[in-house]
Amino acid sequence: MKAAIFRTHGPLDNLEIAEIDKPVIRDREILMKVKVAALNRLDLWVRNGSPALKIPLPHIGGSDFAGIISEVGSKITQFVVGDRVVANAGLSCKNCDNCLRDEQSLCQSFKLLGEHEWGGLAQFVKVPESNIIKIPDHISFDTAAAAALTSLTAYRMIKTQARIRSTDNVLVIGAGGGIGTVAVQIAKCFGNKVFALTSTDEKVKKLIDLGADHVINYREIRDWDKELWKLTDNNGVDIVVDSVGEVVWKKALKSLAKGGRLVTCGATTGIKAETNIALLFWKQLSIIGSTMASDSEFREAMSLVFDKIIVPVIDSKYPLEQIQDAHRRLESGQHMGKIIIQID
């Protein structure tokens, strides 16, 4: 099969298109013929490498993908060849205490397709039966692939981890990215007032179209934390949704109202942020981590997509052969929403 691989970690020149063997499935796995994949910041991190990430090479990235079932394992009864499906990239044992209480992302053996195992930037990928759901006929492969990882991640952050209430003011940092554009829509579907932080006037306009009530261009308004206090009548925001990390951390905490919650799923600008502990205990703030989602959260998030309550924003589309150009676009930070890779 044809796949986008890297044989060593490093710059995007290490990415190449190669012919490799198709995966061999087991009894409870399906082989998906991938139609569409989508990139995440995770793909850059995996390609660049880290001492904490030890994976066999060559590696195939891609944690967002959708396609058609090409083969089914001998013990699978819920799916058949030809079904249109989308995958949850999170792999768990399904048997530990956390998995049995529907907290698969807390599994001790939790891994990700595209990070620890071969992902979807290939013509075929194998996926456990428990990690796929059918795509309704009215939903395109582009939409399904663009929504999978970002929707489940943002849904868990806002609903489960931050415990959103209808009266909460919500700030989405990095709102022009894949997770950010979905987080704005999820917060709005719960009936909340949404503030968004982004980098260009073009993105400001698009975020307003997505439903954001107030959008701040942080390149123009450097003291955006103070601006938020003005916009909230000096109350602050109740929830901060962040994946940016170090460069926004101090101001994000300052933006919170008493009893506020900052929920984070990443740190694209660095992991060593400074926390004012006095601010933390005096305002009784909560800092909450979030990774991927449970199986039920994945289904709930994708139902919002299938019902068109959430519409993933697609920035651009590239054929698999132009994977280096797609990574370059992602690295630039100029994209709005998801970058799509056409596989077949």
Q: Give residue-wise pLDDT tens across range 104-125.
A: 999 999 999 999 999 999 999 9
Comparing CA positions, the residue from 77, 106, 75, 80 lying closest to residue 93 is: 106
Q: Which contiguous run of DSSP H or E holds residue 299?
A: helix 295-306
Q: Between 323-332 and 41-48, two packed helices, what is the crossing angle to 10 degrees?
A: 110
**Per-residue confidence band for 52, with pLDDT thresholds at 50, 70 and 90:** confident
* pLDDT tens by residue, 249-291: 999 999 999 999 999 999 999 999 999 999 999 999 999 999 9
CA distances from 67 to 122, 141, 306, 343 (A): 11, 7, 16, 9
| CA distance linking residue 168 with residue 189, whole number of Å | 13
**Per-residue confidence band for 93, with pLDDT thresholds at 50, 70 and 90:** very high
- Statement: residue 344 has pLDDT above 90: no
Comparing CA positions, the residue from 293, 285, 337, 64 lying closest to residue 157 is: 293
Contact 104, 59 (CB under 8 A): no
User: Which whole number is the average pLDDT over 84-101?
Assistant: 98
How many beta carbons lie within 10 A of that of residue 263, not counting itself?
24
The 3-state DSSP class for residue 188 equals helix
* pLDDT tens by residue, 22-40: 999 999 999 999 999 999 9
DSSP E strands, the chain: 2-6, 15-19, 29-38, 59-60, 64-72, 84-87, 90-91, 111-112, 124-128, 132-134, 169-173, 193-198, 214-217, 237-242, 256-264, 286-289, 314-319, 338-342
- Statement: residue 48 has pLDDT above 90: yes
- Statement: residue 191 has pLDDT above 90: yes
In the numeric block, which tokens belong to residue 255? 């933006």
**Per-residue confidence band for 5, with pLDDT thresholds at 50, 70 and 90:** very high
| CA distance linking residue 30 with residue 92, whole number of Å | 16
In the numeric block, which tokens belong to residue 147? 């929504």
Amino acid at 73: G
Residue that has been written with the tokens 């003291």 in this structure: 223
Phi-psi region of 96 (alpha: psi -120 to 50; beta: other; left: phi over 0): beta
Domains of the chain are 2-135+313-342 (3.90.180.10), 153-289 (3.40.50.720)
